[in-house]
Structure 1
Amino acid sequence: MSADFFPGSPGIDVNAAVQAAADLLAAIGVSSDSETAARTPARMVAGLAEMLSCPAWEFTTFPNREGQHELVLARDVPFTSLCAHHLLPFSGVAHVGVLPGQRIAGLSKLARTVEAFAARMQVQEELGQQIASFLEERLECRGVGVILAAEHLCMTRRGVRAQGSDTVTIACRGDLRDDPVARAEFLHLAAPQTRRAA
């Protein structure tokens, strides 16, 4: 198997998870003879398994024959992940920028990288750093930038109930971190007002 082939997500013990979900429902007062108790545990596990899984994929790259040296930016890549603190979803968009080196990635692979790393329980700050580190290592590029903007249900639907708010995190490597001009260009092109004007 190629070092750049990723077989998808690790397996889930479905039977143990369904039993745990049934125990949780019983603990919060769901009657054991209700329709909810009978069918919801399996649905809960199926939903979580779907959110924590991604299809097998290969991170393909190509020689940078034309010497592309300007920023390559994939904007508004949708993602959903699971909050490691509350097991509630957070969803939004990723903007992924790369300053190419000797090789370039297939554009779909930038989106696939977001999808693959989102299929985990984590916090948003970790997700952005994981994507940036992976792309920097695999592409050996001059710079990587990842901006994530997401709504967290653990914040908008519970606790403070800050409906309508989103959280933005930035993870940058190489010239997109260290070169003020390159960083400013990346942040400008990923900004919402720039997308509306384009």
Structure 2
Amino acid sequence: MSLENLTRNYHDIISNLGEDPERDGLKGTPQRAAKAMQFLCRGYDQSLEEIVNGALFASTNDEMVIVKDIELYSLCEHHMLPFIGKAHVAYIPTGKVIGLSKVARIVDMYARRLQIQENLTREIADALQSVTNAKGVAVVIEAKHMCMMMRGVEKQNSSMHSSVMLGAFRESFNTRQEFLQLIGR
């Protein structure tokens, strides 16, 4: 992502909205907006291998591991407006566990791309499964979408919930129910 090109594009957007990008309040805004967009979309510059960085550790634990209430911030790929929420991620280890912060970093990496929530949920689950070779992986995301709140139907109290259940979470009703109870759903 070229800062220079993004800055020029934001300058054009502001002009095309009928504003003067050179007026005092907007001076510097095109570059600030370009830097913000680079930050919001930094997931494109990251890889799963880089994020995990070898933080897998031998463990005899074969019980459910849950990281819940992981804040996430993403941009809807349809309107480029934010959706904001939290992810709840669980897995059942088979000989190795992943460093705790790596789960949150995986969520962030995929959230920091232009996205729809359904795909984001699947990408997180697939990534954790591929890295840990877990017996099962579960991901639930609940988020509020500005594209639904600020425009269109303007529904302020709506939220979207999505889930992906892999392996034991998909195959076993009891395992799935335990996860959902532990995250308060």
TM-score, normalised via structure 2 length = 0.91
Unmatched segments (≥5 aa) in structure 1: 1-11, 193-198
User: Is residue 108 of structure 1 aligned with residue 101 of structure 2?
Assistant: yes
User: Is residue 69 of structure 1 aligned with residue 58 of structure 2?
Assistant: no
1:84-117 CA-to-partner distances (Å, cap 9, x unmatched) read 0011111111100001112111111111111111
Query: Which residue in 2 is equivalent to 1:20?
Result: 9
Counterpart mapping for 1:2-17 below 5 A: 12-17=1-6
Residues matched between the structures, number: 179
Unmatched segments (≥5 aa) in structure 2: none
Of all paired residues, the percent bearing the same amino acid is 32
Query: Which residue in 2 is equivalent to 1:128?
Result: 121
Q: CA RMSD in A?
A: 1.5
SS of alignment partner, residue 173 of structure 1: strand
SS of alignment partner, residue 45 of structure 1: helix
* Letter in structure 2 aligned against 1:172: M
- The 1:33–1:112 alpha-carbon spacing in structure 2 relative to 1, beyond 3 Å, is closer
- The 1:190–1:123 alpha-carbon spacing in structure 2 relative to 1, beyond 3 Å, is same
Query: Which residue in 2 is equivalent to 1:158?
Result: 151
**Could you tell me how far 1:31 is from its partner in structure 2?**
2.0
* Letter in structure 1 aligned against 2:8: Q
- The 1:51–1:181 alpha-carbon spacing in structure 2 relative to 1, beyond 3 Å, is same
- The 1:174–1:16 alpha-carbon spacing in structure 2 relative to 1, beyond 3 Å, is same
Query: Which residue in 2 is equivalent to 1:44?
Result: 33
Select the residue among 154, 163, 173 that pairs with 1:170: 163
SS of alignment partner, residue 163 of structure 1: coil
SS of alignment partner, residue 110 of structure 2: helix
SS of alignment partner, residue 92 of structure 1: strand
* Letter in structure 2 aligned against 1:105: I
